[in-house]
Structure 1
Amino acid sequence: MKRTVRRLAALAAATGLLASGCGLETSFALPFDVAPGSIQRVPELDGLGVAVGSKDFTENQVLGYIAEVALAAAGAEVRDMTNIQGSNSSRQALLTGDIDLSWDYTGTGWISYLGNTEPIPDEKAQFEAVRDADLAANGLRWLDYSAVNNTYAFAVTKDFARANNLTTTSDMAALVRDSPDKAVFCLETEFISRNDGFPGVAAAYGFDAKTAQVKTFGTGTIYTATADGLCNFGEVFTTDGRILALDLVVLEDDKKFFPQYNASVVLRSDFDTAHPQVREIMAPIVAKLDNDTIRGLNAEVDVDGRDPAVVARDWMVREGFVSLPPA
C-alpha cells in the first residue's frame, strides 16, 4: 500500500543503510537525550541494545521514533534503524534479527506478508487473525493494535460536505446516484482499476463507477486537487497530515469495504519473551494513539517540515511519557 511522502532516503544512502544479504548496517543513535516521565528507568532494560526499525514513509518513521524515545527513557541503548526502504525489507530485517522491533499494519500483514486475498472487515478480528497466523508461521508477535488505521477513504471539502450533508461513503453513493453530475473523483492510476479500489467500492456501495468522471493524479496531488475544487471526491489515506492541513473531511467507510490497516508494534517472540518490559512500556503509548493524533504528527513533518524524530519526542513530552533532560 502506498503511503505518505518518503524522506531521508539520501541520508540513508550516505550513511550506508543497506538492505542486502548481509543485513542492515547503521551506527545511528537518537540525536538527543530524553529523561524519564511516566516511563521510568527499567533495571532489566538498562544498557540493553535494542534496534528499532521503520519503513521509509513519514508515519512509520514517527512511530519508530516514538518507540525509540520510550525505550531510551527506560534506559535501553537504542539503535536507530528507521527509514528501511520498502515493507518487505523492513519485514525481513525483523525476521533475521537485524532489528528487534518495528511498527506494521494489520492489513499489510494479512495480505502482503501472509498471502491472504480477502481482508477481514472488523478491526479486532483482522488483528487477531494476523496476530495468531504470524506467530504460528513466523514467530513474530503483534502487540495490541492501536486506533491508528491508515486505510483508504474518500475526502471532500468542508463546504461540499456541509452543502450535501455528507458524513459517510453511503451518503456519497446516494448523492452520485441522484446527481450524476457531482460524481467527479480524483484518483490515482492504480486505484482506478483495482478490485479493492474504485470498481470494488462502487459495487459495494451501489453506484456506477463507469459513469463517474475520473481525474487521474499522483497520490500527493489528490489532496490539493480536492481542496482546490478540481474534483468533489478525492481518494486519500486516512492518517495523511494533508487532510488536516487542507481542512478536508474524511467520509466514513461505513460498510467497511476497505481493508483495515491498524498500526501495531511487532517483535520476534524470543525477544518479547526475554524482555517483556518492552510491551509494558509500549502499551500506554499505543492506547494514546489514534487517527487524529497521528494525522497531526504527520502534518508536522510533511507540511511544517519538522524532523520526525523531534516530532515524536515532543509528542512524548507533551503526553508526559518522557521529559527533557535538565539544560
Structure 2
Amino acid sequence: MITLRRTTAVLAGLAIASTALAGCGLRSASGAVLEARPGAIQHYDSLDGAKITVIAKDFTEQLILGNMVSIVLAAAGADVTNLTNTPGSFGVRQAMLDGNADVSPEYTGTGWINYLGNEQPVKGAQAQWQAVNEADRANDLTWLPPAPMNNTYAFAIRESEAERLGVTKLSDLERLPKQELTFCVESEFASRNDGFVPMLATYGLTREDLGRVTNLDTGVIYTATANGDCNFGEVFTTDGRIPALNLRVLEDDRQFFPLYNLTEVIRTEVLEAHPELAEIFGQLNPRMTNEVMLTLNAKVDNDGEDPALVARDWLIEQGLLT
C-alpha cells in the first residue's frame, strides 16, 4: 500500500525543495537551536566541536521533532545546524543522500515505501524497521531503533458516538447497522485500489454495506467527524486535532494500515564516528508515543505555541534535559 498523504506531500513539495537546494542551498525558516543543559541525556566530550546538521520537514510534527533532535544534540555537546522546516520530503531525503545533512527524524513506512519504492509494507514495527534499515545501508544511511509512535492512517469517531455504539476497534464496524456506517474520507483514499475498499474488505465490509460516504479534504474531515456529519472520519494517528475535538481513534486490530514508526536516520559515516548518538536517541525514542505526540502537536496547532519551545519544554519536563 502506497501512503496517500505522504505521497501527495512529497510531490507537492518537490519543486519547491529542488529550487531551494539548487538555488541558494538548504535553509530553515528559523535555524535557531534553543539552549538547554544536560539532564538524563549527558554532555559527551566526544561531541565537542562535532558539526552535525539536522534536517526536518515543514509540517507541525516535524517542526517539533526537528527542533527536539537539534536541542538534544546541542545539549550533548555537538555544534548543530538546524535545517528544520525544509519543504518537501524529497528535499530532506536528497540532503541526507548528498551528505548535506546528517540526522533526520523520519518514519519507517516513508523510508520503505516512498524513498525505497516498495509497494507492500512489512507487517510488524520491528520487522518494518529492520527491513528499511537493511535496505538503506546501501545508501550509507542507518535507521536507529524506532519509537512506539506510529503516525499512520486511522479512523476516528467522536467520543459520544463511540460510547453509544460501543466501538473501540475497526473490527467492531462489521456488526453495526448500515445507517450507522457513515464515513468521511479523502477522495483519493476513497477510490484507490489500495485504500478505502480494501480496508473495508479486511474488516468484512463492502461499499454496499455502508450508509453515506462523503469525500472531503483532509483538514475538513476532523471537524466534520466532530460535528456528526459522519460517524467515522479518516485521520492520522498523531494529529493534534484528535484530542482537541474529542475524537476516539479506532484500533486497526487486523493491521491493514502501513506502519510509520518514528526514528532518527543518521548518515552511517557520522554514526560510526560518533556511536554515542545511538545511546542519546536510545533514551529519547522509547518516550515518544502517540499520546505524547498528540499532546505536543495540539500545543502548536490548537494552542498556538512555538514548536521549538514545545520541544524544549517537553525535554525538560521529562528530565532528559534541564
Q: TM-score, normalised by structure 1?
A: 0.90
SS of 1:83's equivalent in the other structure is coil
Task: Give the drift of 1:203.
Answer: 1.3
* Residue 191 of structure 2 corresponds to residue 193 of structure 1: yes
Per-residue CA distance 1:174-199 (angstroms, 9 max, x = gap): 21xxx111121011111111233211
Q: Output the CA distance in 2 between the equivalents of 1:60 and 1:31.
A: 15
Match of 1:155 in 2: 156
Residues 30 and 68, structure 1, Cα contact 8 Å, conserved in 2: no
Residues 30 and 78, structure 1, Cα contact 8 Å, conserved in 2: no
Q: Output the CA distance in 1 between the equivalents of 2:55 and 2:283.
A: 20
Residues 147 and 290, structure 1, Cα contact 8 Å, conserved in 2: yes
Task: Give the drift of 1:28.
Answer: 5.3
Task: Give the drift of 1:114.
Answer: 1.1
Alpha-carbon spacing, 1:274–1:22, altered in 2? closer, same or farther (3 Å): farther
Match of 1:209 in 2: 207
Match of 1:64 in 2: 66
Q: Output the CA distance in 2 between the equivalents of 1:27 and 1:149.
A: 27
Which letter does structure 2 place at the counterpart of 1:69? I
SS of 2:131's equivalent in the other structure is helix
Match of 2:236 in 1: 237
Residues 198 and 209, structure 1, Cα contact 8 Å, conserved in 2: no
SS of 1:166's equivalent in the other structure is coil
SS of 1:231's equivalent in the other structure is coil
Which letter does structure 2 place at the counterpart of 1:220? G
SS of 2:269's equivalent in the other structure is helix
Alpha-carbon spacing, 1:25–1:231, altered in 2? closer, same or farther (3 Å): closer
Match of 1:9 in 2: none
Q: Output the CA distance in 2 between the equivalents of 1:234 and 1:89.
A: 31
Q: Output the CA distance in 2 between the equivalents of 1:20 and 1:29.
A: 19
Task: Give the drift of 1:277.
Answer: 1.4
Aligned residues: CA RMSD: 1.8
Task: Give the drift of 1:66.
Answer: 1.0
Residues 121 and 258, structure 1, Cα contact 8 Å, conserved in 2: no
Q: Output the CA distance in 2 between the equivalents of 1:113 and 1:283.
A: 24
* Residue 42 of structure 2 corresponds to residue 40 of structure 1: yes
SS of 2:114's equivalent in the other structure is helix
Residues 28 and 86, structure 2, Cα contact 8 Å, conserved in 1: no
Match of 2:5 in 1: 2
How many residue pairs match? The answer is 308
Per-residue CA distance 1:117-162 (angstroms, 9 max, x = gap): 1111211111111111111x21110000111100101000111111
Match of 2:299 in 1: 300
> Mapping of 1:52-201 within 5 angstroms?
52-135=54-137, 137-175=138-176, 179-201=177-199
Residues 69 and 313, structure 1, Cα contact 8 Å, conserved in 2: yes
Residues 152 and 238, structure 1, Cα contact 8 Å, conserved in 2: yes
Per-residue CA distance 1:211-254 (angstroms, 9 max, x = gap): 53111211111111101111000000001111011111000000
Residues 196 and 258, structure 1, Cα contact 8 Å, conserved in 2: no
Task: Give the drift of 1:20.
Answer: 2.5
Q: Output the CA distance in 1 between the equivalents of 2:141 and 2:71.
A: 23
Q: Which moved more, 1:213-222 or 1:141-150?
A: 213-222
Q: TM-score, normalised by structure 2?
A: 0.91
Match of 2:13 in 1: none
Which letter does structure 2 place at the counterpart of 1:165? G
SS of 1:243's equivalent in the other structure is helix
Residues 34 and 71, structure 2, Cα contact 8 Å, conserved in 1: no
SS of 2:21's equivalent in the other structure is coil
Q: Output the CA distance in 1 between the equivalents of 2:194 and 2:272.
A: 37
Task: Give the drift of 1:173.
Answer: 2.8
Percent of aligned positions with the same letter in both sequences?
48
Residues 28 and 85, structure 2, Cα contact 8 Å, conserved in 1: no
Q: Which moved more, 1:121-130 or 1:310-319?
A: 121-130
Match of 1:10 in 2: none
SS of 2:157's equivalent in the other structure is strand
User: Unpaired runs of 5+ in structure 1?
Assistant: 7-12
